[in-house]
Every structure is written in C-alpha cells, then in structure tokens.
Chain A
Amino acid sequence: MKKINLILNGESRTAAVAPHEVLLDVLREKLGVKSPKVGCERGDCGACTILLDGKPVCSCLILAVEVDGQEITTLEGVGRNGPTPLQQSFIRHNAFQCGFCAPGIVLAATALLEKNPQPSAHEAQEALSGNLCRCTGYEAIIESVVEAGREGGGKKKSRKGQ
C-alpha cells in the first residue's frame, strides 16, 4: 500500500492504495466520490471522466498511484454554489435523459469552455466525442454547450457556479 496525497475538488485528501488500483475505483470506493461512473473500464465510454490538473481524462485508465500530488476535479467539485452557467444551459435544454453519462460530459464540456470559451458546434462535438451517450443523440447536449459559450459561460471560474 502506498499513501497518495491529492487535491480532490479543492480539498486535500489522502488514500492508501495498492499499486494495481485504478483511480476510478479509488475515487468511488475509498474517497466516496461517486459521480465518475463505471461504464466500460477500458476508456471507450467516458463515463468515468474526471479533470486531472484541468484536463479531461478517463479515470478507469489511470492507476491511483500515478496521481499522487495532483489535482482532481469530479462533478462533485463543480457548481458547489449552485449550477454553473453550463449546467444551467444543460437544464434549460433538457439535455440529458438517463443522466449516467452526464458527469463525464459536464466535465468534458467544462474543460472545453475553459480552453475555448466560445466553441462552435463542431468543436463541441469533437471535444465530447470520447463521451458516449446512448439516449439523447447528442443534439441537445451540443446545443447546450454552444449556447453556454455564447452567453459567456466559458469565462474563468466556470466551475464555481453561482
């Protein structure tokens, strides 16, 4: 077992992990963060997406020991003061159906807006192409992201909410 330290959703956390333990399982089972979902365990579906030092990655493809000293954001760390403009846009568009892919998609879109505050529809499609959704046909999701960008949702502090 190795003790890892990380900043999880703005708070300093530690966990004792075995070398083979996958970050997704450690987040869910040892750190109590349940928004990253187990969908395929091979990096295909994106349901386990987290932000690692601000970049969206599949937490099922990362060993927990690798993130020692790094900063992780899950959906629990977004919109703590109320839904962000992006989340509000998703709500307005009834963008999600079953909602299982939502944590990954909200994070991937949050990262996109931080990098590219006013993405085109195609840029949003590209950015979300690693996050599978079986319900929606993506249309409302893409519209939500584009509209959030157009309305300034991609500005700094987009993760805090209001």
Chain B
Amino acid sequence: MTAMKFVGQSATRIDELAKVTGAAQFVDDLDFGPNLLYAEVVESPHAHALIKRIDASRAKKVPGVVRVVTGKDFPYTFGLYMQDRFIFARDRVRFVGEQVAAVVARDPVTARRAARLVKVTYEPLPHVLDLKEALGEDALLVHPDLKNYSHCPWFFPVADTNIAHWRKTRKGDVEQGFREADMVFEDTYTVPRYAHCAIEPHVIVGQYDLAGRLTLWSSSQSPYTQRHVFAEALAPLGLKHQDIRVITPFVGGGFGGKAGVSMEIIAAALALAVKGSPVKVRWTREQEFYNTYQRQGVIARIKMGVKKDGAITAIEHTLHWDAGAYVEYGANVVNAVGLSATGPYRVPNVKIDSVCVYTNLPPGGPYRGFGYSEFHFGLESHMNRVAKMIEMDPVEFRRRNAIREGDTLPYGAHMNPCGLVEAIDKAAAEIAWGKKEESTSPHKAIGKGFACFWKAPAMPPNAASAAFLKFNEDGSLNISVSGMEIGQGFLTVMAQIAAEVLTVPPGRIRVETPDTDRNAYEWQTVGSHVTWGCGNAVKAAAEEVRDKMLQVVHRVHGFAKEDLYFEDEHVKCRSKPDFALPFKDFVISGIQTPHGNFLGGPILGSGMFMPEFTSATGDPETSQGGHPNVHYTVGAAGIVLEVDRETGKMRVLKAVLAVDVGQAINPDLVRSQIVGGLVQGLATALYEDIRYSLEGKLLNPNFTDYKIPTALDIPDKIVPIIIEVAQPDGPFGARGVGEHTMIAAAALVANALEDAVGLRIKSLPLTAEKVALELRGIRYDDVKGSTMGLCFMGDPQQYAFFTKNSK
C-alpha cells in the first residue's frame, strides 16, 4: 500500500476558524424575524398523577399569548424504538417535569408568566422510584398499557409488569462453568444516573407554513431520524416525510443527549398549532437536566468463575436498569448491554440478563458509552477483585482473558480484528504498572488503577449512511452528508477521507451541516459509527467521482484508464509523463476536443453504505443466531491516583488510554477524543452526584450543585495511545472511537482507590465526601440523608432479584 497523504495526518479542523471567530451558528443564533413566537411548557410537579382538568382560561387572556396547547390537541404517541410517549402527557403524568401543556406567546417573558396561570388539577398517585418496588409483586404499573405499545422487533416487554425489555444472552452452560471453576465470586455494583451537560441546551424552532411545509431548525444529532419520528407521530394529521424538513446547523455538544427525539417533538406540534409563524422551544439548564434524557441508573450483580491459572470459566451478569418513565430510546441501551456485558474477554459460558425497568423518574436514554460505562464499572471492579483472590496480577489476569480476533462473542458471532493485548501492554507500561509510588505528603497515598473496555455501536441492522460530492469551478469540493458535527471533528474526517481518494486537500473541501431536503441520508450520529459508516459512504462517493473524471480524460485523450492517476489535484498519466491536467480545468466545464466541442461536464458523485451483514434475529431466550453488532472497538486504560486520607480528595497524577481505532484518520482528533472522553468519564467518578428527593424531584439541575469539571479539575497528565489494527470493512481501516474513551474511567478510579488506601467502593460516584467518610469507617449510604442518587434505597445486596427467576 502506498503511503497516505491525508489519512493518518493531524489536519487542522476545517470548522475551527468558524468556531474561534464566533462565525459558527447554532440554532439559537438564527434569526427568524419579529414574527417569531416563544413557547413555555407547563410541567408536572408530580412523579405520578392523573390529570383531572386543565384550565387555561386565565393564561389565554394574557396579552401576547397566542395559543395554549394541551395533550388533547395532539393525542399522538412517538418513540424511536418503542412508542410509549405522548407529545404532551395525556390523562397521566409519569415524572416530575413532564410536559403537560404549552403556552405560545409573542415573547418569552409573557409565555413564562402565562404558563404559570395554566391551572392543572391532578389526582396524585403513588409513585415508584425504587427498582425493587417496581419489580415486586403487585407493583404499581407505570405503563398499564405496555402490552399494546408498538416497538422494534428485538424488544421483549413483559406484559402487566414494569419490564419494558429483557435482553437474555446465553452461551455455553454457566452452571457447568461455575463447577469447573476453582473460585466463584459474586457481588453487586451500583451506578446512579448522570446528566450529559452539553453546554448548549436543547433548542428547536418549528415553522409550519401556509403551504403545509413543516420545517424544523434543530440542535440535534439525528436530523433524518427526527424527521422520521415526526412523520410517524404526526401521520394522523396527514404529514408525510416529504412535508417535513429538518435543518441542523452546528450543535453545541450532544453526548447522546441530542440523539433521537426528546423535547423536539413539542416544537413540531406547536408549529402546527400556530400555522404560519415560527415558534421556538429552548430548554433552560434545569429542563436540560430533567426533560431530555438521562444516563440510566443500574444495579448489576456479577458472578464470575475462574480457574487458578486465571482462565475465566463463566460470567453471569444480571443488570436491572432504572430506565425512567419512558424508554423509547433507553431500552436499546439496555439491549446493547445485554449482548456485551462480558466485557472484552473470552468467556466460554455466559448468562446475561439486562432488564429495562420503568420508574417514575425522568426518561433514561443514550449517553456517550451507551450502557457500557455503566456495566464496566462493576465488571472492571470485579476483575480486579477476582485477580486478587486468585493472587494474580490484575493486568496479567486481563491479558490472560483478553478477547482476540475470531473468538466467539456472547451472541455467537465472531470477534473482529483487535489489538487489545497490545493496548493492555502499552497502557500498563505507560503508568509503570507494578511499581509502587509514594506520595511526598504523609497524609496522601498513591495508587494505580487499570481497566479494559470494549464497545460496539448499537444500531438497527439497516442503519445506513450516504454521501454526495460535487466539484466547484476552482476544483474545490463540497461534501453533503447528514452525519453531525457534534464536536468530534466529523466534518474534517470526512474531508480527509475524500482528500485521500481525490488528492484535494481538506482545506479545499467544504462539508456542510445537514438539511434533510438537500443532504444525503444518515441514520443518526450515535454509536461512534459515523467515521466508519459515513466514512465508507464518502469514500464510495469519492471513488465514483474519480471514475467519472478518469472516464472523461479517457474519452478525450484516449489514455488507458489504468495508466491514469491523481496527484496534487491533477490527472496524470504513467504512459505520458508530461501530461498533467488540473482538476479545475475540467471538473465543471469538461475538456475541449480537437474539434472544438467539450466532453464531460460538472462532476458529481454519490456513495452509500449499509452494514449488510448484520441482523437482529437472535433467539429471544439466548440471543444466539443473529449478528446484531458491526464490530467492537477495544482498549485499555490506567491511572495514577493520589488520595488525601484526610479529605478524601483525589488527584489524577496521570491517566493513559490506549484504544484500537483501526486507522486514525486524524490522530490529533483521536487524541482529542481520548482526553475529552477520559475527563468526562473521570467526572462520573470524582464529581458528578445526582440527587432526587423521595418525591422524585431532581434536586440539583444546575452546574452549581451538579459539578462538572472546570479547567482546574483535570488530570495532571493524559497520555493518549493510538493502536491501529485495521478494521477490514472500515474506510482505510478505521473504526469508531468517540464513546469508548469514557468507558473505563470510573473503574479506573475505583481500582486505584483500592490500591492507594485499601478501600473498595462498589457504588458510584466516588466523590471526596464519600471516600473521606468510608475511610473513617462510616458507610456513606447510612449518612447520605434523605436524598437519593440511585434507583434504590436499601442495601444493594438485597437487589439480586430476578436472577433466580430467569431461565
């Protein structure tokens, strides 16, 4: 293979100039003129209640109020994978903050004032926040009609329970595996909810014009999927895909929170209600916390069998997820974990139960890592503990069991090429694993932590990507795709892929943000799949363009096509070394023949990609038989952590993360993902601590009380390590990396904490407060007061329910 000129190079981001000058426009920056209307949502104060009556008469009288809309006006359901939500709550509310009605007014202040005048009469119902309660006999049902909901074919709800989906994976015989083991160890780990905290809150403007066209300017990771969900939900009103247009300019961070459809459905409905005028719905920071998606909480019971030589014989992993009031997206997080909760290890006998449970808390959903961060906390904590019990070095234990290409996955398909062992070795070497470090301070201790990770995109089997390419008169290129630039550098990477095929430098390629009327199709920008999937589409489009260009040159000059090649934006010919035709001379206007006429014309290309080898047809009882995942990205990470025994405060002296990206299209952007993702992951251990009241109300929906890292709260040093074992079906060998960088972080801290001070904490977060108390022998759970960050109130050991009932 010849050396690549653009792929593998740390090109400057093509959108960076726009971002550092403020030229980059986000939805809230777009102007809609003096006719723009503003919406304010009326929210439920109850976690669970019946709506008896809505009286909007006073609100309607406020000057400047244009419309008040309630659930009666839009009695339609929506949902990505399961249609379990109404646009506005109908008859019953299921979480504190749920939208019950909306006031549309000429200005935001009027809308806010009038919304307070909408009088909703509720009949409060008992609510269920605790998972054990939700799964108990005679449990109060959050969705009594669950059995009638339509959902994707790979969900298995249990009628007349709170179980929205139950993914079972069975491989080999776990009981036999435990019998063969020299040691079996079982424990429970808990992970609370987390919030995405993109700095840009959700915002969307909808306009339904007098010709019946619904246009939405949306801060979204999923323009096409939004259009599809809007079209499905609004079909009773006669709207079809062709009537709906979603435009997505730059997005101020997503992290999964802007995937699918959450609050955006409100703007689509309100636009219909105020035909002719644009209407804006912008979430406050508080709403951003409680009425988009949250990362789901989970209680995970792990039972692992292991031989003295370190071979894992069996894993039984039972996960109960607090998925909240609606699971239209979140149930697929549960599904993804149910297929992969062994972690990146070769395990002959596997039993996974991943159970999605409705509660009266805000809806759970996708968050960077898509369930993998959650289960890796328990699994990678458990790996360390098991290694200790068999007196094996925890890094060696992981290495001994590391998954390799061709190994059988939990659901029966086979593992893609992967460099996990290389990642383990390099990460361990970088933190000088095995070498004990001493703090210079007598009241501080230093420990080291290690963890592995893996993750696959969770996609429907026909999730597709497409791309258009066109040349301009100066030989520059436009690429039109609908993957979203959510910060990861997608636009730049697509430009680099096209550049590699066509020799046009990325700086001369524009990749525009999506508009579903104009840009080629993309399912969604989720699952760390767009570099791979959309990259394949762009590469195919560039190759089509190349073929068309060569054909024109061949027609005019008669050179054999196999003699032609591209170099620095020229067509050159091996059989005629002095031939060099600049692209700009013919890509629009064609090439003049000796007769004076021109051949060719504007060069355009298109490409598409769909993972045709995948399927979601696995057996519901075992998950065997399908091929639900396209590939796994694997890696390993380590940290050196300093712990203050007095205050519990922890400082990350060094963090290292090695990840096998197949081929780094842009190494600098991969490193950016590693640094950013690690910091986001470390924050779930060290800082972020969500709290609910016992009435289900979120108590800290702001950055004063829900702490995300500032510039002062980062590791002293982060070392990114890029491993490249090519993905055969990836563009130039690339596979995804965005989410993976945060998955190992929480377990890293837990393992390093134990190494430093001998404390094993099995529930996240691992805040200084908790560590300080536990170091004094005070059980944090006993003193944390009446607030709850978790989906259970009792001793987690009592939450091994369902294990015995599952087949």
Contacts and interface: CB of A to CB of B under 8 A. Distances in A.
Interface in B669-696: 669, 672, 675-680
B150 interface: no
A8 B15 CA distance: 26
Given A83-B21, A97-B672, A134-B255, A38 B201 contact: yes
Contact of A42 (B19, B20, B704, B714): B704
A57 interface: no
Nearest to A130: B710
B24 interface: yes
A99 B252 CA distance: 6
A40 B285 contact: yes
Nearest to B705: A44
Contact of A102 (B20, B28, B251, B710): B20
Contact of B679 (A35, A42, A90, A137): A137
A79 B712 CA distance: 27
B711 interface: yes
Given A99-B252, A137-B676, A94 B16 contact: yes
B12 A100 contact: no
Contact of A129 (B198, B251, B668, B710): B710
A128 B24 CA distance: 21
A72 interface: no
Contacts of B631: none
Interface string A110-146: 0000000000000011101111111111111110000
A45 interface: yes
A138 B714 contact: yes
Interface stretch (B62-70, B341-349, B380-388, B486-494): B486-494
A65 B10 CA distance: 47
A89 to B, nearest CB: 9
Contacts of A97: 253, 487-489, 672, 676
A126 B703 contact: no
What is the interface of chain B mostly: helix, strand, loop, or mixed? Answer: loop
A55 interface: no
B650 to A, nearest CB: 17
Q: Which of A99, A103, A129, A139 has the most CB of B within 10 A?
A: A99
B70 to A, nearest CB: 27
Contact of B22 (A76, A129, A131): A76
Contacts of B16: 90-91, 94-96
Contact of A100 (B200, B282, B668, B704): B200
A26 interface: no
A136 B486 CA distance: 12
B199 A100 contact: yes
A91 to B, nearest CB: 5
Q: Indicate the size class of the contact surface on chain A.
A: 35 or more
Given A37-B28, A37-B252, A94-B669, A139 B675 contact: yes
A100 B249 CA distance: 12
B25 A34 contact: yes
A39 B201 contact: yes
A103 B22 contact: yes
A79 B718 CA distance: 32
A39 to B, nearest CB: 5
Contacts of A142: 711
Interface in A59-93: 74-76, 78-79, 83, 87, 90-92
Contacts of A87: 20-21
A136 B702 contact: no
A125 B285 contact: no
A99 B712 CA distance: 20
Contact of B714 (A79, A91, A137): A137
Contacts of A125: 711-712, 714
A23 interface: no
A47 interface: yes
Interface in B449-475: none
B284 A126 contact: no
A51 interface: no
A134 B29 contact: no
Nearest to B219: A100
A28 B785 CA distance: 43
A102 B22 contact: yes
Nearest to A139: B675
Contact of B703 (A32, A92, A129, A132): A132
A133 B196 CA distance: 12
A94 B676 CA distance: 13
B679 A132 contact: no
B259 interface: no
A100 B258 CA distance: 15
Interface in B6-32: 10, 12-13, 15-22, 24-26, 28-29, 31
Q: Which of B29, B282, B711 has the most CB of A within 10 A?
A: B711
B675 A94 contact: no
B714 A40 contact: no
A97 to B, nearest CB: 3
Contacts of A101: 199, 252
A138 B682 CA distance: 14
Contacts of B509: none
A132 B710 contact: yes
Contact of B17 (A83, A103, A138): A83
Given A39-B200, A97-B489, A134 B711 contact: no
B655 to A, nearest CB: 10
A140 to B, nearest CB: 7
A43 to B, nearest CB: 9
A136 B255 CA distance: 12
Contact of B676 (A28, A78, A135): A135
A19 to B, nearest CB: 13
Contact of A134 (B251, B489, B669, B708): B708
Contact of A74 (B22, B196, B200, B485): B22
Contact of A75 (B22, B25, B668, B702): B22
B197 interface: yes
Contacts of B718: 137, 139
A96 to B, nearest CB: 5
A143 to B, nearest CB: 11
Contacts of A74: 22
Given A125-B711, A126-B711, 11 more contacts: A44-B285, A78-B21, A83-B20, A96-B16, A97-B489, A98-B199, A100-B253, A103-B22, A132-B703, A137-B677, A141-B711
21 contacts: A34-B22, A34-B25, A37-B199, A42-B702, A45-B703, A74-B22, A75-B22, A91-B16, A94-B16, A97-B487, A99-B15, A102-B19, A125-B711, A125-B712, A129-B712, A132-B708, A136-B675, A136-B676, A137-B675, A137-B680, A140-B675
A-B pairs, 6 with minimum CB distance: A100-B252, A99-B19, A97-B487, A98-B487, A35-B22, A137-B679
